[in-house]
Amino acid sequence: MIDETETRLGIVIPKSLKEQLLIQNGGYIVHCDNYPFESDSLHWTNATVDGIDQLDGWKRAKDDHWFESVEDVNDLHLLIRIASHSESQLCLDYRKTGPDGIPGVTYIDTAMNPIEIRIVAFTVDDFIRGLVSSRLSDDNV
């Protein structure tokens, strides 16, 4: 499935993200300290509600209806939407590295005028390291 998605989107999925996808493809993991996609995140609170999209649901921004009115963002084919909540989009951003590089992670709000674009993490590895566990320690129970 990972190879098929890479071919469909024309990108290389980073190793760290492939490792996570082998553990869980989409959603979020509750009460687990070992895996990165938790229900709480330093980087994107909407992931708490919706989690990360399943791999087969990932789209290039240029193929996503939320980006139909976006005219001032270059290289939409190099933005891969991995999570969304209405107009809020979280994307793997290959615009600086090309489709074979290690992407950053970018937040885009397509409802803002002008469109809001924020770099969440310079690399997907940094993004994964920034995700935190929702599990309470024994001291907090």
Q: Mean of the pLDDT values across residues 17-41?
A: 60
What pLDDT, in 10s, does the model give residues 73-100? 889 999 999 988 778 888 999 999 999 9
3-class SS at 139?
helix
Rg of the chain over all Cα atoms, to the nearest angstrom: 15
Q: Mean of the pLDDT values across residues 35-46?
A: 46
Q: CA dihedral defined by 27, 121, 16, 57, rounded to 10 degrees?
A: 40
Task: Write down all domains in the chain, each with its CATH number in brackets.
Answer: 2-135 (3.40.1580)
Residues 6+ apart with CB under 8 A from 20: 35, 36, 37, 128
Prediction pTM value: 0.78
What pLDDT, in 10s, does the model give residues 98-123? 999 999 999 898 888 888 899 989 99
pLDDT band at 139 (very low <50, low <70, confident <90, very high): low
CA distance 77 to 90: 14
CA distance 137 to 112: 39
